[in-house]
């Protein structure tokens, strides 16, 4: 359960950051269109909800890491991996092997997905002016997809 919670929070962190950056890039896009003469005027309304979500999730993740640090500090035989990875269970002998396999699988998946996403940018040559949302959200989806691939591979390997 802790792994699901951590992956969801980390994914939401990337999504909220992408939304915050998107608002900034959208305004820059409008200024560029105005400068080039494609539009005569524009209006933008930017809310602070994405920023608040980002701050709240960051605080929750920090609190979770501090709690995990304090819990692991009690265990005198704990290793650095026990502090870093929420799914790592020092009492389970298979944990190192399972985590390693899941990380390798997620890494391969991220490399393949990144290649496909970045390659897709050449099909939208004017993406900054016309489709500013596409590169912003597809780039932000790379770590999210990696986290989801890690979660699925960890759960599949762990259930064996």
* Sequence spans of domains, the chain: 2-159
| 113-149 pLDDT tens trace | 999 988 888 777 665 667 778 888 888 899 999 999 9
Cβ proximity of 23 and 46 under 8 Å: yes
| 48-104 pLDDT tens trace | 787 788 888 888 888 887 787 777 677 666 665 555 565 566 566 777 788 888 889
**Within a 10 A sphere around the Cβ of 25, how many other Cβ atoms?**
16
Q: What is the pTM of this model?
A: 0.73
């Amino acid at each position: 359960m802790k792994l699901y919670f951590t992956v969801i929070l980390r994914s939401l962190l990337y999504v909220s950051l992408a939304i915050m950056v998107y608002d900034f890039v959208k305004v820059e896009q409008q200024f560029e269109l105005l400068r080039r003469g494609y539009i005569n005027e524009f209006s933008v309304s930017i809310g602070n909800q994405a920023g608040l979500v980002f701050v709240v999730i960051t605080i929750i993740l920090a609190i979770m890491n501090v709690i995990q640090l304090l819990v692991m500090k009690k265990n005198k035989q704990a290793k650095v991996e026990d502090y870093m990875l929420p799914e790592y269970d020092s009492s389970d002998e298979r944990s190192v092997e399972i985590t390693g396999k899941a990380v390798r699988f997620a890494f391969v998946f991220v490399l393949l997905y990144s290649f496909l996403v970045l390659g897709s940018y050449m099909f939208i040559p004017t993406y900054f002016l016309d489709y500013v949302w596409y590169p912003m959200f597809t780039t932000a989806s790379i770590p999210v997809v990696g986290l989801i691939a890690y979660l699925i591979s960890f759960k599949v390997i762990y259930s064996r």
